[in-house]
Amino acid sequence: MKIAVYPGSFDPISNGHLDIIERAAKIFDFIYILVSVNPNKKYIFTDLERVEMLKIATKHLSNVQVEASNQLVLHYAREKKAQVIIRGLRNFFDYQSEITLFQFNRSIDSTIDTFILFPSADNLFLSSSSIKELVLFGADISNYVPHDLIEMITRIILERAK
């Protein structure tokens, strides 16, 4: 069985994330979506809220499970018997950080590989921080996040911005 882990902060989930999840779900037998903690990031949404949003957005995918963990992604992947870590790559800046992370991960555990997926053209520029900014300026985010989550994402961002 080909098992993969797709880690991220998903703060909040975007259509770009969902695009990668749906495409990866066609390639791998099972995917763990990992809401992970990056100590260098300040989150708007709690771990539980991010897990809930991902569960709502991926409810149509039977081979996807959403979890949160504060452990090293490689340790989580090993625990889940995953052979692959999925990463999304939008631009050269992503490439620079991802190639470094790939090499670092390989030096720790060469049995777990990295699988890169590029976003579809509509999502190439999309980031969670741009979604937060759009909400704060009252812009429509319906083209950028799963429709079932528009109200929740907007409400929480505006509540926590006060």
Catalytic residues: 17, 41, 90, 128
CB neighbour list of residue 84: distance below 8 Å, 6 or more residues apart: 2, 3, 4, 5, 28, 112, 113, 114, 115
Query: Measuring CA to CA, how many Å separate 47 from each of 20, 64, 86, 116?
Result: 20, 18, 20, 25
CB neighbour list of residue 140: distance below 8 Å, 6 or more residues apart: 134
* Secondary structure (DSSP) of 19-70: HHHHHHHHHSSEEEEEEE--TT---SS-HHHHHHHHHHHTTT-TTEEEEEE-
